């Protein structure tokens, strides 16, 4: 008898919202009813829709239940698994229409996606290599091993694959450089030091489909002539490390790693190096220094790692998502692979959607899709029906795009031209309540904290830029500050040692480019239109709306509000600390921000 397959998401997001307890309850319930043998419960990797977790999908019908808790399990079993009646209340509700959606692919979040790299994530049990093999795992490697290394590199070049870590360097070209570099020893290194705030693409891939990364690295190693590799993964990803470790063990056991792989002369051993949490270690030279046991600080390029990388040996360094693309290319072939994407940006890109958006989570989209489609179709639009203001793309190294840039096709070159960058794939969506100056300050706080301190412009310059931004957001901005910011930004971009410094001013420059008037309001009018910069806003009570309920006065922590019962109240501006409690508590919209 064919058993029904229940997929239970066990990515980091769903685990933290309780999916393991759901699994436990499910097992118990099925056991209790004596029907356990009719079901196969599979803990899978991430579905990307973490906001809706824990996610339970029942096959073959592909019914998608979300936010399932352990206490929902008896009902789910009784109603659906036994009696076949769909439990409506556990279905996904479309944020715009409010209608319940039964099937996975009918959900807007998934409908416009093109899940090719993530095709195994949420589908297979990542801790079971057999499931990977059943989905065509290691077939790409098998195909590659039948080619010569030069042919493999040629295929990658033809695929048009570009580095998914941010800069978009053609992967095939990088491999070719490493292949041609002289060296008695070569390395393949996978950059899994994902550090952009809010980004978790690489983690999801490692958690959901670790063998894909291993397979990609194997093909790279074969192509460039390496026999040893490292995955540099941040220690804050314990689940990814665990699954990767299990996958490496399994691959070693099955002869996909180790000596004479698949009966060829090709040998490759793979090690995991855990990073210690420095953002700059995502920069390739700092990452290599860290593997070598040195302080994680960038080194000058050239020499590029392709010529002199790990321990001075030629090293092919790509990120997780890039490697995860490789098996796909060799499994389905270049022709099929290149059907997706644009002329100069082939394939798909995974984005992490966060911020003021309805559907937060991970989405894999074809290159060339518009930002508008990502935000409004996949992301379900802005939360609370508010107005879209901007999207920050590429994390702290990237830039923001305003409403008028939303129809821009998402590919490497268009984004760069617009003053943003593809980056590793973080998308932070901002609504009208976001202050763009404060946003720039936020990102600069991050880069300034993560500056390693090696080079002058980044160490000293980001600090001064941050101080100016702080000054502006605190209402102490002065005439000339913007020019100073621009001068600093130019020099930091021009003269910093590594990518961190060279891109650190981007959030400031792009917000200045698109939202200069907000900066000017802060400086000259001492006004924050979004009402975020507390020094620049005041709370006022509208007498015609105030009914004198006294809720605000009772909740004010500093007793700044006075007024007779049933009479309009008033805020003493000299006492008010702008905490916003009154604003939140007022049921009559009588309190405003100015």
Rounded CA separation 287/84 (Å): 52
Nearer to other proteins, 70 or 310 (CB): 310
Q: Which is nearer to other proteins, 297 or 326 (CB)?
A: 297
Q: What is the DSSP letter of 162?
A: B
Work out whether 299 is an interface residue with other proteins (CB under 8 A).
yes
Report the first-to-last Cα separation within the chain, whole angstroms.
68
Exactly one of 306, 374, 375, 455 binds other proteins (CB under 8 A); which one?
A: 455
Main-chain dihedrals φ then ψ at residue 63, nearest 5 degrees: -85, 130
- In Å, how far are 23, 217, 436, 469, 571 from 535, measured between CA atoms? 49, 52, 15, 13, 16
Q: Is 528 exposed, middle or buried (0-12, 13-18, 19+ CB in 10 A)?
A: buried
Dihedral in degrees, nearest 10, Cα atoms 290, 294, 298, 302: -100
Among 4, 157, 493, 513, binds other proteins (CB under 8 A): 493
Question: 3-class SS at 139?
Answer: helix
* Shortest distance (Å) from residue 480 CB to other proteins: 9
What size, in residues, is the chain?
594
Under the criterion CB under 8 A, does residue 226 sit at the interface with other proteins?
Answer: no
Print burial letters for 405-426: b (CB count within 10 Å at least 16), e (below 16): bbebebbbebbbebbbbbbbbb
Q: Which of 467, 525, 584, 589 binds other proteins (CB under 8 A)?
A: 467
Is residue 349 within 8 A of residue 162, CB to CB? The reply is no
Please tell me whether residue 494 binds other proteins under the rule CB under 8 A: yes
Distance of alpha carbon 588 from alpha carbon 339, whole angstroms: 55
User: Which is nearer to other proteins, 285 or 358 (by Cβ)?
Assistant: 285
Closer of 368 and 457 to other proteins (Cβ): 457
> Given candidates 456, 476, 550, 555, which one binds other proteins under the rule CB under 8 A?
456
Q: Counting contacts by CB under 8 A, is residue 123 touching other proteins? A: no
Nearer to other proteins, 178 or 496 (CB): 496
Rule CB under 8 A: say whether 503 interacts with other proteins.
no
Q: How many CA atoms lie within 13 A of 486 on its CB side?
A: 10
Element (H, E) at 400: strand 399-402
Query: Closest separation between CB of residue 304 and other proteins, Å?
Result: 11
**In 135-237, which residue ranges form alpha helices assigned H by DSSP?**
139-145, 149-159, 171-180, 201-208, 210-224
Tell me: does residue 490 bind other proteins (CB under 8 A). yes
Is 495 a binding residue for other proteins by CB under 8 A? The answer is yes
Residue 57 near residue 7 (C-beta atoms within 8 A): yes
Q: Is residue 273 within the footprint of other proteins (CB under 8 A)?
A: no
Of 28 and 491, nearer to other proteins (C-beta) is 491
**Closest approach of Cβ 431 to other proteins, in Å?**
32
- Identify which of residues 337 and 442 has a Cβ nearer to other proteins in the complex: 442
**Can you tell me whether residue 241 is helix, strand or coil?**
helix
Q: Does 461 bind other proteins (CB under 8 A)?
A: yes
CA quadruple 83, 88, 94, 99: dihedral sign: positive
Strand partners, 170: 162
Q: Of the listed pieces 69-77, 368-376, 390-398, 488-496, which binds other proteins according to CB under 8 A?
A: 488-496
According to CB under 8 A, which one of 367, 452, 533, 552 is a site residue for other proteins? 452
Nearer to other proteins by C-beta: 296 or 355? Answer: 296
Q: Say if residues 59 and 6 touch (Cβ distance below 8 Å).
A: yes
Instruction: Return the number of the residue (130 or 467) whose C-beta is nearest other proteins.
Output: 467
Hey, which residues between 301 and 320 contact other proteins (CB under 8 A)? 302
Residue 450 is a binding residue for other proteins (CB under 8 A) = yes
**Cα separation, 402 vs 391, whole angstroms:** 7
Contact present, 562 and 569 (Cβ < 8 Å): yes
Residue 108 burial (CB < 10 Å; 0-12/13-18/19+)? buried
By CB under 8 A, name the one of 105, 134, 235, 484 that touches other proteins: 484
Q: Measured from the CB of residue 496, what is the shortest distance to other proteins in angstroms?
A: 7
Please report how close the Cβ of residue 282 comes to other proteins at its closest, in angstroms: 14
Nearer to other proteins by Cβ, of 13 and 457: the residue is: 457
Which of 278, 328, 401, 523 touches other proteins (CB under 8 A)?
A: 278
325 vs 211, 350, 366, 541, CA distance in Å? 12, 11, 13, 57
Cβ of residue 471: shortest distance to other proteins, in angstroms? 9
Q: Give the shortest CB-497-to-other proteins separation in angstroms.
A: 6
Q: Total residues contacting other proteins (rule CB under 8 A)?
A: 34
Q: How far apart are CA 557 and CA 570, in angstroms?
A: 15
Distance CA 562, CA 571 (A): 7
Q: x/- site string to other proteins, residues 409 to 448, per CB under 8 A?
A: ---------------------------------------x
In the complex with other proteins, the residue whose CB is nearer, 38 or 502, is: 502
295 is a site residue for other proteins (CB under 8 A):
yes
Binding region for other proteins (CB under 8 A): 278, 295, 297, 299-300, 302, 448-457, 459-464, 467, 484, 487-488, 490-491, 493-497, 502
């Amino acid at each position: 008898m064919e058993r029904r397959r229940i997929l239970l998401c066990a990515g980091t997001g769903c685990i933290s919202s309780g999916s393991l307890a759901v699994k436990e309850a499910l097992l118990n319930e099925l056991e209790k009813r004596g029907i356990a043998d009719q079901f196969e419960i599979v803990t899978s990797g991430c579905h990307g829709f973490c906001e809706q977790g824990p996610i339970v999908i029942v096959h073959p019908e592909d019914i998608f239940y979300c936010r399932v808790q352990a206490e929902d399990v008896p009902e789910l079993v009784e109603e659906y698994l036994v009696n076949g009646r769909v439990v409506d209340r556990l279905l996904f509700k479309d944020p715009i229409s409010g209608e319940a959606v039964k099937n996975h692919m009918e959900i807007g979040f998934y409908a416009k996606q093109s899940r090719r790299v993530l095709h195994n994530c949420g589908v297979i049990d990542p801790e079971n290599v057999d499931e990977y093999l059943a989905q065509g795992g290691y077939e790409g490697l098998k195909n590659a091993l039948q080619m010569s290394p030069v042919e493999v590199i040629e295929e990658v070049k033809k695929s048009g694959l570009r580095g998914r870590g941010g800069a978009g360097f053609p992967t095939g070209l990088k491999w070719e450089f490493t292949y041609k570099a002289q060296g008695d020893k070569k390395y393949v290194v996978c950059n899994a030091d994902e550090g952009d705030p809010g980004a978790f693409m690489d983690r999801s891939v490692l958690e959901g489909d670790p063998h894909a990364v291993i397979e990609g690295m194997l093909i790279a190693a074969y192509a460039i002539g390496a026999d040893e590799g490292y995955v540099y993964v941040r220690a804050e990803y314990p689940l990814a490390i665990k699954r990767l470790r299990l996958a490496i063990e399994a691959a070693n056991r099955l002869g996909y790693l180790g000596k004479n792989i698949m009966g060829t002369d090709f040998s490759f051993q793979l090690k995991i190096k855990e990073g210690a949490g420095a953002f700059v270690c995502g920069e390739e030279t700092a990452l290599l220094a860290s593997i070598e046991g040195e302080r994680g600080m960038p080194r000058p390029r050239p020499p590029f790692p392709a010529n002199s990388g790990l321990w001075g040996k030629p090293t092919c360094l790509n990120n997780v998502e890039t490697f995860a693309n490789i098996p796909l290319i060799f499994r389905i072939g270049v022709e099929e692979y290149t059907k997706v994407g644009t002329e100069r940006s082939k394939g798909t890109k995974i984005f992490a959607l966060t911020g003021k958006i309805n559907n937060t989570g991970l989405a894999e989209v074809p290159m060339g899709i518009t930002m508008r489609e990502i935000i409004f179709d996949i992301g379900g639009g802005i939360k609370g029906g508010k107005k879209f203001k901007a999207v920050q793309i590429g994390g702290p190294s990237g830039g923001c795009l305003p409403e008028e840039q939303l129809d821009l096709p998402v590919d490497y070159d268009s984004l760069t031209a617009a003053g943003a960058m593809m980056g590793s794939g973080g998308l932070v969506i901002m609504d009208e309540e976001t202050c763009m100056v404060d946003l720039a300050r936020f990102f600069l706080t991050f880069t300034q904290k993560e500056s390693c301190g090696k080079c002058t412009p980044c160490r000293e310059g980001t600090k001064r830029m941050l101080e100016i931004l702080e000054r502006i957001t605190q209402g102490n901005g002065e005439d000339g500050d913007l020019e100073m910011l621009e001068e600093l930004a130019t020099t930091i971009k021009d003269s910093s040692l590594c990518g961190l410094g060279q891109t650190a001013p981007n959030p400031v420059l792009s917000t200045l480019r698109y939202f200069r008037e907000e900066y000017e309001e802060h400086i000259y009018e001492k006004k924050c239109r979004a009402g975020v910069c507390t020094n620049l806003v005041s709370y006022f009570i509208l007498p015609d709306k105030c009914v004198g309920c006294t809720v605000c006065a009772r909740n004010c922590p500093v007793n700044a509000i006075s007024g007779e019962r049933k009479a309009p109240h008033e805020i003493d501006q000299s006492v008010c600390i702008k905490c916003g409690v009154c604003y939140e508590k007022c049921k009559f919209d009588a309190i405003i921000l100015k």
